[in-house]
C-alpha cells in the first residue's frame, strides 16, 4: 500500500494543478483494475465504506410516513418522500431519475419497501441505491451521521470506478486518510489484493488527473 505521505503529496498536487474555481470542487479517485473477471458477480465490488472524515455534500433521502419523518427532520436529511409521493414518482420517470442520480443514500421504513420496489426500483436498483430498510420506531439519526461520512463503491462489470474522497476545502492530509481507508478496503476484497490494481489517479472535479499508483 502507498504511504500516506505520498498520498497527501499527490492530493496536494491535484488540488494545486486545478484551475481556481468560485465553487467548491470534489476530490475524487479513479481506480483501474486488472487481471480480474468482473463478468463473474463474485468478483464485483459492492461496498459502503465509512471514512474517517466527512465528505460534505452527501445527500440522503428518507422514505416513509409518521415517526420516521420527524426523526428525518431532526437528522436534517436532504429529502423526505412520503408513501403517497413514492407512488406519484412511479408515474414521473424523469423526476424519479433525477432523484436517483442526485441523492447518494436512501433509507426507507420497512412498511413502504414494497412500494419502493414497485415504483422506484427501476430507477434506484441499477444505480445500486435501493434504500436501507429500517423497522418502524428506529432512531435513524446515528445511521444518517454514518452515511454522511461514507462512500459507496460499486463496480458492476467495469474495471474502472470513481469515488469521492473529499473536497478542495479539506486538508490534503485528511483526504489522504480517506483515500487510504478506501484503498485498503478495496484491496481486502479483491482476489489478489493490490495486484489487481492497475492504477489510481486523484483529481478535482475540473482539474487534471494526477497518478498515485
At 69, which CATH number? Answer: 3.40.50.790
Average pLDDT for 195-199: 97
Q: Which tens digits make up the pLDDT trace of 96-125? A: 999 999 999 999 999 999 999 999 999 999
- pLDDT given for residue 159 in this prediction: 96
Residue that is last in its domain, among 101, 121, 147: 147
Is the pLDDT at 1 greater than 80, yes or no? no
At residue 203, the pLDDT reads 97
CA dist., res. 86 & res. 121, Å (int): 11
Pair (159, 141) in one structural domain: no
What percent of the chain is predicted at pLDDT more than 70?
100
Does residue 128 share a domain with residue 69? yes
Q: Residue 2 — pLDDT band, cuts 50, 70, 90?
A: confident
143 and 155 in a single domain? The answer is no
The yes-or-no verdict on residue 55 having pLDDT over 90 is no
**What is the average per-residue pLDDT within 35-59?**
93
Per-residue confidence (pLDDT) for residue 48, from 0 to 100: 95
User: Do 29 and 97 have their domain in common?
Assistant: no
Percent residues over pLDDT 90 in the chain: 88
Asked whether the predicted pLDDT for residue 21 surpasses 90, the reply is no
49: domain CATH number? Answer: 3.30.190.20
Report whether pLDDT(22) > 80. Answer: no
In a 10 Å sphere around its CB, with 0-12 CB exposed, 13-18 middle and 19+ buried, how is residue 166 labelled?
buried
DSSP character at residue 209? P
Same domain, 105 and 143: yes
Structural domain boundaries, residue 44: 4-53+151-211
Buried b (16+ CB within 10 A) or exposed e, 48-71: ebebebbbeebebbbbbbeebbeb
The verdict on 67 and 135 lying in the same domain is yes
| Per-residue pLDDT tens over the stretch 155-188 | 989 999 999 999 999 999 999 999 999 999 999 9
Please tell me the total count of domains within the chain: 2
pLDDT of res. 24: 80
- β partners of residue 29: 163, 202
**Residue 137, number of CB atoms within 10 A of its CB:** 10
Cβ neighbors of 20 (< 8 A, separation 6 or more) are: none
- For residues 166 and 118, state if they share a domain: no
Last residue of a domain, one of 102, 130, 147: 147
So what's the pLDDT on residue 66?
A: 86
* Model confidence band, residue 134 (pLDDT cutoffs 50, 70, 90): very high
Query: Same domain, yes or no, for 49 and 92?
Result: no
φ/ψ region of 87 (left if φ > 0, alpha if ψ in -120 to 50, else beta) reads: alpha
Mean pLDDT, all residues of the chain: 94
Q: Is 173 left (phi over 0), alpha (psi -120 to 50) or beta?
A: alpha
Same domain, 111 and 74: yes
CB 132 within 8 A of CB 107: yes
Does 85 share its domain with 45?
Answer: no
Model-level pTM?
0.86
Amino acid at each position: 500500500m502507498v504511504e500516506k505521505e505520498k498520498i497527501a503529496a499527490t492530493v496536494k498536487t491535484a488540488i494545486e494543478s486545478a484551475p481556481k474555481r468560485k465553487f467548491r470542487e470534489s476530490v475524487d479517485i479513479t481506480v483501474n483494475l486488472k487481471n480480474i473477471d468482473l463478468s463473474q458477480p463474485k468478483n464485483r465490488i459492492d461496498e459502503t465504506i465509512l471514512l474517517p472524515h466527512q465528505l460534505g455534500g452527501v445527500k440522503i433521502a428518507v422514505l416513509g410516513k409518521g415517526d420516521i419523518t420527524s426523526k428525518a427532520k431532526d437528522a436534517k436529511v436532504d429529502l423526505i418522500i412520503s408513501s403517497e409521493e413514492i407512488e406519484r414518482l412511479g408515474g414521473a420517470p424523469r423526476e424519479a431519475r433525477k432523484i436517483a442520480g442526485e441523492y447518494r443514500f436512501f433509507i426507507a421504513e420497512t412498511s413502504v419497501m414494497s412500494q419502493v420496489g414497485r415504483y422506484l426500483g427501476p430507477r434506484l436498483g441499477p444505480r445500486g441505491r435501493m434504500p436501507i430498510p429500517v423497522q418502524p420506531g428506529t432512531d435513524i439519526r446515528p445511521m444518517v451521521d454514518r452515511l454522511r461520512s461514507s462512500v459507496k463503491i460499486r463496480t458492476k462489470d467495469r474495471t474502472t470506478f470513481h469515488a469521492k474522497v473529499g473536497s478542495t476545502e479539506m486538508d490534503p492530509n485528511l483526504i489522504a486518510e480517506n483515500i487510504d481507508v478506501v484503498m485498503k478496503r478495496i484491496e481486502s476484497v479483491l482476489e489478489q489484493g493490490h495486484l489487481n490494481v492497475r492504477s489510481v489517479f486523484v483529481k478535482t472535479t475540473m482539474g487534471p488527473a494526477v497518478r498515485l499508483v
